[in-house]
Amino acid sequence: MYDLLIVGAGPAGLTAAIYARRAEKSVLIVEKANFGGQMTFSPKIENYPGFTTISGSALADGMVEQALSQGASLELAEVTRVLPRGDRFTVETDSGVYEAKTVILATGAAHRTLGLPREEELVGAGVSYCAVCDGAFYKGQKVAMVGGGNSALQEAILLADLCEKVTVVQNLDFLTGEKKLADAVSSLPNVEILLGRVVTGLLGEDSLSGIEITETATGKKETLPVDGLFVAIGLKPENRAFADVAELDEVGYISSDERCLTSTPGLFTAGDCRTKSIRQISTAIADGATAALSACRYIDSL
C-alpha cells in the first residue's frame, strides 16, 4: 500500500514524487517507456529557468536522480487500469497490481504519426520520431523532417550538423516555430524548406528509400529520395485506459480543476495529459507540485 502512486515519469510525475516524498508520503512511480518523458527527445532546452542551455536528457536525468534521492520508488510497467476501491485505489499493470491511497495520472502525450500505410512497419527502418535518438544513424545521408513547429526546427538544426541534406516539409505556407529558430534553419546551407506540402507516401521495401510529397494547393505530386524521415507534428494524449475514472475532453485530455483533481475523489492529474492551454516543461512541473500537495492534503483528511 502506497500513499501515492504516480502514473508517468515525465517532469510532472517526477516533480510530484519529489514534493510528496518531502511531505513524508510513500511514493511509487510507474512508467511504461522512458524516465523523463518527452523532454528526453529535445536536443537543446533554452527556456527552462536556471539553465542558459541544457539537453532534455540531462535535465531528465537530474529530475530522476532527485526523485530517487528523496526515496521514491520506480517501476517500469504499463498501467492498464485504475480502480477506485472505497478510500483507496487498485492499480493494474502489465506486470503486477498495486494499491494506493491516491493516484496522480501524469501520462504525458505521445508523438503524432502521419497515418500512412506501412508507417509503423518502417519505424526503425527509415522512419523515426526522435532525431536525438536516431539522427546519428543517418550521418552523411539525406533526410526529411516533417513539421514546422519548434520541435521540428530544433531537430532539423541537429540533423543539419550530421546529414548531407535536410529537407523540411511543412503543410502550411509558413513555419509555425519561433522566429529565431525559423531564421536559424533558413540560414543553414544544407537545409531546404518545402512549404505548402504534405507527405502522402512512403517508398521502399525493407527500408525507406524515399517519400511522396503532395502540394496542398494544386495536388501535384513529386518524389523525394531520402534515407530517413523524421516526424515532429505534435503530440496526442494516451488516456483511454482511464476514461471510466477521469472525465476526458473531446480530444482525450483529462479534465481537472485548479487543484489538478479529476472527476474521481483522490484521483489527480498533472502535465501534458490534462486540459490546459500551455504545454511546457515549466507548466508540467507546476502541475506536479500542485497535484502532489493536493494529494497529500487528501491523504491527511482520510
* Domain spanning 2-111+235-301, CATH class: alpha beta
Chain position carrying cell 490534462: 274
Superfamily grouping for domain 127-231: FAD/NAD(P)-binding domain (3.50.50.60)
Do 2-111+235-301 and 127-231 agree at the fold level? yes
pLDDT band at 221 (very low <50, low <70, confident <90, very high): very high
How far is it, in rounded angstroms, from Cα 278 to Cα 195?
Answer: 26
Instruction: DSSP letter for 208, please.
Output: -
Q: What is the pLDDT of residues 175-208, one digit of tens each?
A: 999 999 999 999 999 999 999 999 999 999 999 9
Give me the percent of the chain exceeding a pLDDT of 90. Answer: 86
Catalytic machinery residues? 130, 133-134
Q: What is the pLDDT of residues 27-66, one digit of tens each?
A: 999 999 889 988 887 777 888 999 999 988 999 999 999 9
Task: List Cα–Cα distances, 123 to 88, 107, 197, 236, 263, in angstroms.
Answer: 40, 23, 22, 18, 37
% helix, strand, coil for the chain, step of 5: 30, 30, 40
DSSP letters along 115-174, please? --TTTTTTBTTTEES-HHHHGGGGTTSEEEEE--SHHHHHHHHHHHTTSSEEEEEESSSS
Averaged confidence pLDDT in the chain: 95
Length of the chain: 302
Q: What is the pLDDT of residues 238-271, one digit of tens each?
A: 899 999 999 999 989 999 999 999 999 999 999 9
Q: What is the pLDDT of residues 44-54, one digit of tens each?
A: 788 899 999 99
Q: What is the pLDDT of residues 157-179, one digit of tens each?
A: 999 999 999 999 999 999 999 99
How far is it, in rounded angstroms, from Cα 300 to Cα 302?
Answer: 6
SS3 123: strand
Phi, psi dihedrals of residue 34, rounded to the nearest 5°: -125, 135
Instruction: Say if CB 14 and CB 63 are below 8 A apart.
Output: yes
How far is it, in rounded angstroms, from Cα 159 to Cα 40?
Answer: 16
Record the pTM: 0.76
The amino acid present at 203, given as its one-letter code, is L
Domain ranges of the chain: 2-111+235-301, 127-231
